[in-house]
Structure 1
Amino acid sequence: MNQPPGSPQGPRNQGPRDADDLPGCYRHPDRETGVRCTRCERPICPECMVSASVGFQCPACVREGSGTGHPPTATQPRTLAGGTVARDPRLVTKVLIGLNLAFYLVQLAVGDAFTDRFLLFGRAFLSGEIQGVAEGQWYRMLTSMFLHDPDNPMHIIFNMLGLWWVGGPLEAALGRARYVALYLISGLAGSALCYLLAAPGQPTLGASGAIFGLFGATAVLMRRLNYDMRPVIALLVINLIFTFGWSNIAWQAHIGGLVAGVLVGYAMVHAPRERRNLVQYGVCALVLVAVVVTTLIRTTQLT
C-alpha cells in the first residue's frame, strides 16, 4: 500500500499517441492523467498534485521552491487536503514513533509504577486508593495512547510498523497540522469508547486506536483518488479479525479510532476549497465534543 515513488524522470517519450491515450504520471507511470505541472508541464496523477495559486505543481517543483531562480507560480504550495507542503513529509510520523519508543523505554526502566500511573482505566483501587478517569484523571485518555505492554515487545513493534506504513503517506497527503489532529482525535475517540464500554477496572494501553483512525482516513483518501480499494480493505479486514479474535485486545479502542478516522478523514479530503478550514476543523471539533460527552456520561455512571 505504501509504495515509494520513483525518481522524477520527466514525461515519457513514447512517440505519437492516440487522441484518447493519456500520458502516465512522471512518478507513477502506470497511472494515466490529463493534468500537468504548471511549471515544468510534467504529467502528474492526483497523489502528486500540489495545489498552487493557478493549477497544480509536481512535488519536484515544489521542493525546488522559489530559491532556484524560477519565477514562483504558487505563493504557498498546498497538499491535497490544503496543508502546507513540507520538505520532510514524514517528520510528524517519525516524532510520534519516537515518542512511543521513548515512553516504552521509560516503562521498562521505571517499571509498573509508571505504567499504572498513565494507562487507561475507568475506576479501580490501585496503590491504596481509588484512581481512574472517573476520579478526574482525564489525562489517562491521552497518555495511554503512548504506552505499550512492557511484557510483550511485539505490541509496540506491530503498532510502530503500522504507523510508519500508513502514517507517512497520509501525513504527506494531509499536511502536518491536519495529520496531528487526525491522529490525536482518533486516539481519544478510541479511549472514550473504551472508557464507555469496557469494565471500569480493565486497563487499556496502546497506539492502536489512533492507528486504526489512520487506516480509516487512508481508505477515504484512496477512495477520493479513485485508487484500488482492495489492498486497504484487505488490511482492515485482517486487523479486525485480530481485533475480535484475541481476548486481550481492546476492540473498543480500535472501533472508536476507526470511526473517528473515517469521519475526520472524509472532512479532510472532501471539504470544499472555499470553506476548507471551517469544514475540516469543524468536524474535528464535533468529534472532540462527542468524546467529551461520552466521557462525562460514563463518569456520571461510575460516580
Structure 2
Amino acid sequence: MSRWLTEPVPRGRIAAFRTLIYLFVAADLVIFTPWVRTRASVPGELYQPLLVGRVLPLPTPTPALVAVIFWALLLLALLAATGRAPRLLGWSVCALYLEWMIIAMSYGKVDHDRFGLLVALAVLPTAGRARHGDATRTEAGGWALRVTQIAVICTYFLAAWAKLRFGGLDWLTGSVLARAIIRRGTDLADLVAQVPYLLIVAQFGIVAFELLSPVVFLLPARWRLAMVGFFYSFHVVTIATITISFAPHLAAMTSFLPLERVRPLLWARRLAGRDATGSAPEPPAAAPDPAPVGTESSALGDQAPVVGRPAGP
C-alpha cells in the first residue's frame, strides 16, 4: 500500500500540476466565486459557520476581512504558480482559500465539487521543489498526486452514497434531472427530456458510474487515462445540459494526467523564436550542381577536391 501511495512521478508533472492548481485558484476568485465578496454585506447573524469554522474558531466575515482575504489570496496564488517558495506560499494559499470557502459555504449551501481542490492545496506544499520538464522522479510528489486522486474519486463515490442514503431508490426513479432541466436546462437538455424514459436511464447511469469510479485505480495506465477521459466527457455533457461545471473538481482531476508532457512555456519560446526569424522557417538551400568529372568546383576555389575518377597513370 505504501508503495502505491508513494509511486514516484516526474518532478515536471508536479511543477505543471502546481502551476495549474494555483492559477485556477486565482481564476476562481475572479470568475467562479466573486460572489463570495457579497457575503460581507450580509447581516452577521445569518453567518452559520461550518464545523471547521466553529472549531478553530473563525471570525464573522466583515467587508475588511473579505477584502484582505481576496487580494492576499489572489496575489499569493499567482506567486505560488511560479513554483517559488513552494512550502511558504503553498501553506499560505491553502489557509486563505480554506477560509474563503468557509465564508462561501456558511450561509446554507455547501458545494461538494471543492473537496479535491482543497486536498490538492493541502498536499502540494509537501511535494517540495519541482521544475517544469524535470524528469527526475519523486515519491513525495507521487504521494501528493495520489492523495488528490483519492479525494477526486471519493467525491464521486460519496456523492452516490449520499444520493442513496438521503433519496433512496426513489432518487433513481424520481424526477431529479427533470427538475434540474426545468431550473437551469439548455436547449440541448430540452431535446433530451423529450425522449421517453431517457432521464430515468441517465439517473441509473450516473449512480452506477459514481459507485464504480474507484475501479480507475485498478486499471492499466492506458485504460486509466481512457476512464479519466470518460469522467471529463461526463462533465462536458453536464455543462451542456444543466450548466453545472464542477470546475474545481475538474482542475483537481488533472492529477491523473501526464501533465509533464504539456510544455506551454517551451511552445511559447519556440513560437517566439519562429516569429523572430519570420512566419515560417527558410527552406533549405538547394545543393550545388556537381562539377563536371575531372574538374574542380569553382565555388570551392583552388583547395576544393576534384570530383570524379582519379587521373590515370
Give your verdict on TM over 0.5.
Answer: no
TM-score by length of 1: 0.27
TM-score by length of 2: 0.26
Higher-helix-fraction structure? 2
Q: Report which structure shows greater RCO (CA 8 Å, sep ≥6).
A: 2
The structure with more radius of gyration: 2
